[in-house]
Amino acid sequence: MKRRRKSRRGAWIDFFLIGSIITLTTIIITISITDQFKFQKPTVSATTTEYPSDISSLFEEKESQFPKIRIISESSVNHFIPYSLEYPKTSFDQVNDQINQYIKDAKQVYTKTLNQKIKESKIKSIGDLTITTEIYEFKDKYYSVVLKKQLSYNKVSYKETFKTIVFNKDNGEIIESNTLFNHNIGHLNLLARYLSSELKKVYGNQVINEKLDEVLSPNWEHFNRFAAANDSIIFYFNQGELALEDAGAAKISVPISFLNPILASDFQSNETSAVTILSPKKKVALTFDDGPHSKVTMQILDTLDKYGAKATFFMLGKQVEKNKNIANEVLNRGHEIGNHTYNHPVLTKQSTSQVIWQVDHTSQIIYDVTGEYPTVFRPPYGASNQTVKSLVDIPVVLWTIDTYDWKYRDSNKILPFVQANLHDGAIILMHDIHQSTADGLDSVLAYLQEQGYECVTVSELLAEKN
């Protein structure tokens, strides 16, 4: 009996152990599978859906302050492609066609660029497109519509551009630059030179001269972005069109009285002006001696750029050796370099061999540093005689206005000397080694601009006289 009970107990134990093992195994496998799915990184498709090319918009139409012109407000209903557009609707098909085509193109380029950014980055890009309208009425006969577009992607790289349409308010005839300037290419050349000078003042050293020359080349299409306002013609230039992107867009407003001689009669002003675009430009030459200086010369260059002014720098050889990069910067910014000897001696007290060494050695230094020889020479202290002149093979240039910046070292005293002695063809003496000269230059250039003077190099001034 005892053996039978023992055998029956052993079978139950075996059954229990086997069942426990099976249960535990099942639990472990379940946990393992569960954990595998729990911590496995899901795979996501890299494909991102493109934005549709045709975006639904909300429209609102309202009256404007101008008869027969209504204003359309259009906004996107897609928050990934936001835009807010405001543009006019006129009673003339030819005008509306231009406006509507511009709006259509703006939206298409906007969406296309967003989709291109998706392909490049594999993520959604959010843009922002805004178009606003400004309207001018001129002589109760013409309307000028100015559409300003501001565009950005992911709230960076904002860019501002313009579209303008000038039209006869009675018949819808669109006026372009060739009509405005009497189909006279000579008038266009005069305008191009004037706008070039003004834009250099606006952009300073941010202007890109190659772009400026291209945009202002005498082609009628290049000058069609304008508006006729009450007393001026306004020319619009897109951001990045002529200068670095950071410099922004530009508007040049030119008084109609100034443009009168080259405008079509319909656009001329009844007001007369003593100075017009045909008036001979008064010129002066700004000159700076004894540099280049590591700090002062750079400040002077920046101020000259601000006003679009050119100058001549009479450099000492020893200073060029110490400030090679500054000497190159002077040339790079379009200014002229003159020879002012090596170490500023009184040449009339030097031997012939000493004069020759002072001049030739300095010219060679300037050439070795900049790759160009100096084009003019100024003797230190203005001390010269026939012997000195005979030893110099480039023009010897003195001055007609001394600002005495070397004597007073006072930024406020420079302008009065210029005002008291200013004349057409003046050569103004200053020094780019004094901080006070750099500080006082802005007021001098502002005054010269107000008085209608153009600042040119000495060589340019001499060429005018000859």
DSSP string, 285-323: EEEEEEE--TTHHHHHHHHHHHTT--EEEEE-HHHHHH-
Which among 427, 376, 423 has a CA at the least distance from the CA of 402? Answer: 427
Q: In one letter, which amino acid is 194?
A: Y
Q: How many CB atoms lie within 10 A of CB 130?
A: 16
Total residues belonging to the chain: 466
25 pLDDT higher than 80: no
What is the structure's pLDDT at 127? 82
Q: What is the mean pLDDT of residues 26-44?
A: 42
Q: Report the percentage of the chain scoring pLDDT > 90.
A: 72
CA 401 distance to own-chain centroid: 34
Average pLDDT over residues 279-284: 87
The string of pLDDT tens digits covering residues 323-353 is 999 999 999 999 999 999 999 999 999 999 9
Q: List, for residues 202-241, the tens digit of each pLDDT value.
A: 887 788 989 999 999 989 999 999 999 989 999 999 999 9
Tokens standing for residue 417? 């000397």
How would residue 3 be classed by pLDDT, with cut points 50, 70 and 90? very low
The pair of three-digit structure tokens given for residue 213, joined into one six-digit string? 């020359």
Site of tokens 């001055």:
399
* Residue from 389, 390, 370 nearest 378 by CA: 389
Least confident of 32-46, 217-231, 348-362: 32-46
- Specify the pLDDT at position 202: 87
**Biggest CA pair distance of the chain:** 151
**The one catalytic residue among 289, 305, 405, 432:** 289
pLDDT value of position 2: 40
pLDDT mean over 115-123: 72
CA distance 455 to 50: 55
Give the model's pLDDT for residue 14: 57
pLDDT at 465: 75
Task: Measure the CA–CA gap between 115 and 107, rounded to whole angstroms.
Answer: 12
What are the residues facing 52 on neighbouring strands? none
What strand order describes the sheet that includes 250-255? 226-228, 232-237, 250-255
DSSP state of 230: S
pLDDT in tens, 71-116: 999 999 887 788 999 999 999 999 999 999 999 999 999 988 888 8
Active-site residue identified among 187, 293, 340, 431? 431
State the pTM of this model. Answer: 0.64
Q: Determine the pLDDT at residue 9.
A: 47
Query: Quick one: pLDDT band at residue 279, thresholds 50, 70, 90?
Result: confident
Residue 281 has pLDDT above 90, yes or no: no
Range 53-57 average pLDDT: 70
| Pairwise pLDDT comparison (188 vs 127), residue with the higher score | 188
Is residue 166 within 8 A of residue 175, CB to CB? The reply is yes
What confidence tier does 7 reach under pLDDT thresholds 50, 70, 90?
A: very low
Q: Is 289 a catalytic residue?
A: yes
pLDDT in tens, 297-317: 999 999 999 888 999 999 999
Torsion sign, CA atoms 378, 380, 385, 388: negative
Is 355:380 a contact under the CB 8 Å cutoff? no
Residue with tokens 């040049």: 252
Burial readout 252-264 (b: 16 or more C-beta within 10 A, e: otherwise): bebbbbbbbebbe
**Arithmetic mean of pLDDT, 271-286:** 88
Could you tell me which of 177, 105, 179 has the C-alpha nearest to residue 147?
A: 105
Q: Which amino acid is at 324?
A: K
pLDDT in tens, 131-154: 999 999 999 999 999 999 999 887
- For the stretch 371-427, pLDDT in tens is 999 999 999 999 999 999 999 999 999 999 999 999 999 999 999 999 999 999 999
Residue 272: predicted pLDDT? 83
**What's the pLDDT score for residue 233?**
98
Residue 431 annotated as catalytic: yes
Q: What is the mean pLDDT of residues 146-174?
A: 91
Please tell me the predicted confidence (pLDDT) of residue 24. 59
Report the range of poorest mean pLDDT among 37-41, 316-320, 445-449, 462-466. Answer: 37-41
pLDDT at 8 over 60: no
CB atoms within 10 A of CB 112: 13
Q: What is the mean pLDDT of the chain?
A: 88
Mean pLDDT to the nearest integer, 256-269: 95
